[in-house]
Amino acid sequence: MIFKSGGIAAAMAVAFFAATSLPATAQDDAAQCGTDRTIDIAEMTWPSAAALAHIHATILDKGFGCSVEIVTGDTVPTSSSMLTRGTPAVAPELWTSAIEDAWAKGIEEGTVVQLADAITDGTVEGWFIPDYTQAEYPELTTAEAVIARPDIFPDPEDSSKGRLYSCPPGWACELSTSALYEAYDMADSWNLFSPGSGGALDASIARAFTREEPILFYYWGPTAILGKYPAVQLDQGETKPDVYACNTDPDCTDPAGVTAYPSSPAVVGAAAWVRDEAPHVADYFSKVGLTNAEISELLVYGDENQADAAATAENFLRTKQDVWTSWVPDAVAEKVLAELG
């Protein structure tokens, strides 16, 4: 049975799964949970991580017969609790860049493990234009090429300049985008537009794509927006970690510099006891990585149907059986499919 709790806050985590592949066992044995302990799964505050928590909770509950609890969380408190208390047991999409040192120490000390890459091709962050705009202007493949053509992306309130859609005030990406705007020396020919909320940014992007209008915007993935709308990421050159760190540090006094956005690691992090006490569960989590495109696609359902994480997870289990059944023994798949009806 799956329990929902507002318990431990979730976080991002990283480690390397050192467990070897499972020994040859009978199908029925491989379909058992292997532990009487409750496996609490962190439901993070962003849509992809929340949906993944419900997908895995359903499979563990209905397929493996585990006692499962979904607990709310966010990056730092979840990782801290996992490192010090061994709970939550699993964080299905743990972005570890913000907790790099503490997480690396936890791996070294054997308190946590990394079971898989949650996003197999890495997270995405950068500047985008619509594919139809690039089809019309095939030379627009780099940030510099787009910056040289503000006339293609006119600001609706000041057509003498182009408009770059940034992030809402207070978001970390507002700092990085503002720094790049400065580093690219865009002020004379571009306006930097900061929407009032994430919803306002999404609405601006949706409106442009619906009308097939050009738009230059910052975004990240995996997200429903990138799953729904065919956007092209611009080439911003190499990633320079030191430059990016300064660009996103309000106290850094160095001039803003040009750099691509780094791809943040997102992993399936777990307390070490999961690997030791429930090897079949750990083996399952070692197979559950999805690509950016696959995660963005599953989020489109939630966005278009105003569905919560549980409903989004159920839709994935119903419509992507070719994907998730490859993660589990046949006996587990049969049990989950029987529950889905």
- pLDDT value, residue 21: 43
- CA-to-CA distance for 13 and 218, rounded, in angstroms? 25
- CA-to-CA distance for 314 and 94, rounded, in angstroms? 22
Q: What is the pLDDT of residues 191-219, one digit of tens each?
A: 999 998 999 999 999 999 999 999 999 99
Burial label for 299, CB within 10 Å (0-12, 13-18, 19+), is: buried
- pLDDT value, residue 14: 35
Q: What is the pLDDT of residues 33-44, one digit of tens each?
A: 999 999 999 999
- pLDDT value, residue 192: 98
* 171 — pLDDT class (breaks 50, 70, 90): confident
- pLDDT at residue 4 tops 70: no
Amino acid at 186: M
- CA-to-CA distance for 287 and 337, rounded, in angstroms? 19
Query: What DSSP letter does each residue of 242-277 carry, written as one string?
Result: HHHHHHT-TT--SPP---PPPPPPEEEEEEHHHHHH
Task: Please name the residue that has the structure tokens 């197979």.
Answer: 287
Rounded-to-10 torsion of CA 264, 267, 272, 274: 160
Share of the chain above pLDDT 70, in %: 91
Q: How much is the pTM?
A: 0.79
* 24 — pLDDT class (breaks 50, 70, 90): very low
Longest dimension (CA), the chain: 71
- Name residues whose C-beta falls within 8 Å of residue 145's C-beta, 6 or more positions apart in sequence: 139
- pLDDT at residue 15 tops 70: no
Q: What is the pLDDT of residues 214-259, one digit of tens each?
A: 999 999 999 999 999 999 999 999 999 999 999 988 899 999 999 9
* 29 — pLDDT class (breaks 50, 70, 90): low
Burial label for 182, CB within 10 Å (0-12, 13-18, 19+), is: middle
* 95 — pLDDT class (breaks 50, 70, 90): confident
Rounded-to-10 torsion of CA 131, 49, 330, 88: 160
- pLDDT at residue 97 tops 80: no
Burial label for 237, CB within 10 Å (0-12, 13-18, 19+), is: exposed
Tell me phi and psi for residue 106, to 5 degrees: -65, -35
Query: What DSSP letter does each residue of 10-51 carry, written as one string?
Result: P--------PPPPPP--HHHHTS---SS-EEEEE-SSHHHHH
- Joined tokens for residue 253: 């006094």
Q: What is the pLDDT of residues 292-332, one digit of tens each?
A: 999 999 999 999 999 999 999 999 999 999 999 999 999 99
- pLDDT at residue 12 tops 60: no
- pLDDT value, residue 6: 52
- pLDDT at residue 13 tops 60: no
